[in-house]
Amino acid sequence: MADGLPHSLRSDARDNRDRILEAARELFSAEGLDVSTQRIARHAGVGPATLYRRFPTKEALVAEAFAEQMWHCGTVLDEALADPDPWRGFCSVIVRLFELHVRDRGFTAAFLSAYPKVLTLENTRAELMAKAGELARRAKECGKLRPDFVPQDLVLVIMANSGIRAAEADQAVQASRRFAALAIEGFRATPGAAPLPPASWTPRLTPAT
């Protein structure tokens, strides 16, 4: 064998990893990032030692669990940047990201939280915010986005959107779409609109322990 391990052992290790990630996504989505690694291990049907062999820190588990969602956010922004109408692209980002985040509480917390030990998560977030900043610049240039918008405002409304709760998932999505429409109207450049207070802070959620 290329790695010196029997095929069955390698297969078991992959299965354990997949079960851990699936359990983490389910619990993070339902309850947020405060779920303990011990609960994740039990939900996955593995021992804590097995989990820690695959993911030595909770931060590493969070980063891997939400890698696909981070990639999806990047795709949403890339498609918006490719739209010849910057304002339409900007609005599509609001609607699509709101729906993505309202469906998954854990991803919202991971997206907004600081995990300095996980460079891949931090770097991906920085890349996403840079794309959002470029999209906002274009939307301002075409005169549709209010000139005092800053990228932190996008983080702010995502945080607010994450507070939407409903008995049924479809109801939460419907409420999120309405909130997206309200946010878009708030961001629209309107003659005579009162200026926003200065953005001298960076909204963050507290990392899970």
At 53-73, the pLDDT tens digits run: 999 988 889 888 888 888 999
Candidate CATH numbers 1.10.357.10, 3.30.70.3270, 1.10.3720.10, 2.60.40.1250; the one for domain 66-187: 1.10.357.10
Helix (H, G, I), strand (E, B) or coil at 113: strand
Each residue's pLDDT tens digit, 82-117: 999 999 999 999 999 999 888 887 888 777 765 545
CA 141 to CA 154: how far, in whole Å?
18
Rounded-to-10 torsion of CA 114, 115, 116, 121: -100
CA dist 189 and 141 (Å) reads 11
Residue intervals in the chain for CATH 1.10.10.60: 13-56
Q: What percent of the chain has pLDDT over 90?
A: 50
Pairwise CA distance, residues 16 & 23, whole Å: 10
For residue 66, give the amino acid letter: F
Contact 177, 184 (CB under 8 A): no
The reported pLDDT for the residue numbered 208 is 43
Report the distance separating Cα 182 and Cα 188, nearest Å: 10
How large is the average pLDDT for residues 163-169? 75
Phi and psi dihedrals of 188, rounded to 5? -70, 135
